[in-house]
Amino acid sequence: MRLRPLALAALCAYGSGVAAQPAESADPAEARRAPTQIEEIVVTAQRREERLQDVPLAVTAFPEDQIEARGIDDVGDLNALAPGLQISRTPSNTTISQVTIRGISQINPAIYWDPAVGIYVDGVYIGKAQGSIFNLVDLSRIEVLRGPQGTLYGRNTLAGAINLVTRSPSGEFGGEASLEIGNYNAFVQRASVDLPRMGIASISIGARSEQRDGWIDTPSSASVPQLNDRSNRGLRIAADFDFSPSLLGEYRFDQSRVDQTNNFTQLYRIEIPFLQPFASRERLESANVDAPSFERSQVQGHSFTLSWNVGNGLEIKSISGYRRLDWNDSLDLDGSPLPVVWTQRFTDYEQISQDLQLLGGFDRGNYVAGLYYFGDDGQTNNPQSFFVLDPSSDAYFDSRYGTKTGAWAAYGQVDFRPVERLTLTAGVRYTREKKEIERAFGLRADPADPFFYLIPEGTEASETFDATTPTFSAAWRFSSQLNVYARYAEGFKSGGFNGEFSQPPSGDPNEDISELIALNIAETQTPFKPEKQQSFEIGLKSSLADGRLMLNAAAFHNSLDDFQASIFLGSGAAATVVRNAGEATIQGIELEAALRLGSTMLMANYAWLDPEYDEFIDGGVNVADNRAFVHAPEHSFNLALDSELLRRDWGAVRAVVDYAWTDDFYTYPYQLEVTNPGLQLARDSQVDAHGVLNLRLAVTDVPLGARGSGEIALWMRNALDDDTATNFIDFGPGFGSLTIANFEEPRTVGISGVVRW
């Protein structure tokens, strides 16, 4: 389908972020008056500080005020809050993300699989989806960059990037503390303190903890006392060091710990008679499971940024990062008290990165250049048991895999203004990386038997991939209130190896086991190719009505080559493989608007998405017309109202209404119509169209002594108690069509109080 010419001509690209802009006045009473304009936000989407409305690419920014008012605690809370952004938590887990921008995503959480959207914390890349949803204390800004970011951000930013920026210490004593209580015995504590400057150092410390009972009750006979509870805590330390007027060091430490039961894997559909009494397509609030059920995540990160202002507008910046993840889960995948299906994953992962940047400017432009290195090493032990009906907890499949990456890149980008109104941008990045895999897979018919290995211990492979990803753009400033641009960009997602492939014996007595072993080894050692995208985008960014109205738009046409499809094989140990299935075309329109009416801010965004496969090769046959595009709703929108209802000397009353709606979408690239009865059907794991409404009413800016202020708020999340199934695992006909689902959490209500000083 071609983009309609009228829409293409009328709609262009966008980037936005909105917050209250205080009036500039020395009179405190005057300063408390309602702001009259939408605040200008400064972002670092192009590795340097720029006014958001001047950046020639699609960016949405959330300042600290909106992060707090809209209850954004982690990446998982951003779903539909930016146009074209769809975020799901992976089935059965709360700490693994499935992030999609403009229809491009990753759905496999295994560590050998790379995400399509890069997530960055203070400039440091988060390598894997496992553990990517974690507590971040003292967030000051979130930037969502849409479209390929292959020049300045590099590998695995095929669809875009999310920048999480934390608050810098002030060097003056101050802080805040908050307490939140809610139903299901929810109890959240937060505290953040800035210490007085000590010599060259400014330090801040922040912490957060959360406890909540599960909303799934279980009987005393179950393996766990509840499901879907919350138990987590986070810590952050920030230290800035003014070594000299031209040399600044910034150290950041973050830690997040989660130790709770996993999301209940509710049995949604099954064709096996003895399991059917436990299946339901309505959200349940009670269950009985027999297998160990837990989710444990420990994330720790260190980063150090050294910025040297050489002079004459030249800056040299070094960003060094180290992150470690210990992540374990155990899942009862049949959602019943019968010992039918369970799996476990025990992952150890660590990464290092180094980004050396050169930033500067000249009379008619700016430039950035850099050298980048990234290395990681991870191991997963994945024992499994399927349809053995033995109460023993011992595994019937021994599945283990490890992955390593060594990647380096060189990049540069130049902005040039041949005339005052025109800015031309050109950039390029070269990336080269080596991927390694090690794999072992064995099976047995009885817990007392030794494992028989179809992929023996020591099976290894390595491959080197490289890519050159350019970008070009032209931006024309009609006035200080209106910019338009056109942009071409490329991105790529690295190739790799299939760490979970397994094909067990078929049961045929004439089967050649030696050939089967050779097949398993060959599939493990054969790499899949990188996925690449070319993007054409035009954009418009405007500020109207004396700064009270912001209206931005984007239209894009993207081509995807060698796209990586995650295909469930439906045999043995729930084997999944990644295949370069073919080509796709994705086009769409994105709108965003903000309007300030006195003390009220109205915000809205909308995205229309039209993805289609040009080629999808399955078994040597092109089935492009009969495969579902995943996590790609045709329509989505977000409406938010942030209003100061009343202001007096004792404080102000503020109301926030936030509604996010997503059209229906598929979760797996299965067949749309039944042409092969042995394969899954996409509509059996389809998420229905639904919306989530969040409400907040607060009394803010309550004076507390000479320097302090307070706030108290009533809040309600999922106020309409939407109970849509939001993610699935469909094991297919080979597993009796066993399908499990996770659902929107039920309505939660509570009260919170904050003291600031």
List, in order of start, the domains of the chain with CATH numbers.
5-756 (2.40.170.20)
Provide the whole-model pTM: 0.92
Averaged pLDDT for residues 191-220: 97
Residue 47, pLDDT score: 87
Which tokens sit at 163?
Answer: 């920048």
- % of the chain exceeding 90 in pLDDT: 80
Averaged pLDDT for residues 442-464: 92
Q: Residue 534 in contact with residue 556, Cβ under 8 Å? A: no
Helices first, then strands: H and E counts in the chain? 4, 41
Least confident segment among 47-51, 82-86, 220-224, 411-415: 47-51
Strand 117-121 and strand 160-166: the pairing is parallel
Residue 30, pLDDT score: 41
Mean per-residue pLDDT over the chain, rounded: 91
pLDDT digits (tens, 9 = 90+) for 717-742: 999 999 999 999 998 888 889 999 99
DSSP state of 757: -
Rounded (10°) CA dihedral 493, 498, 500, 501: 140
pLDDT of 641 higher than 80: yes
Residue 45, pLDDT score: 85
Residue 389, pLDDT score: 56
The band of 551, judged by pLDDT with boundaries at 50, 70 and 90, is very high
DSSP state of 96: B
* Distance set, CA 616 to CA 527, 528, 625, 670, 746 (Å): 18, 15, 8, 11, 38
Rounded to a whole number of angstroms, the distance between the first and last alpha carbons of the chain is 57
pLDDT digits (tens, 9 = 90+) for 11-51: 333 344 444 444 343 344 444 445 678 888 888 888 888 88
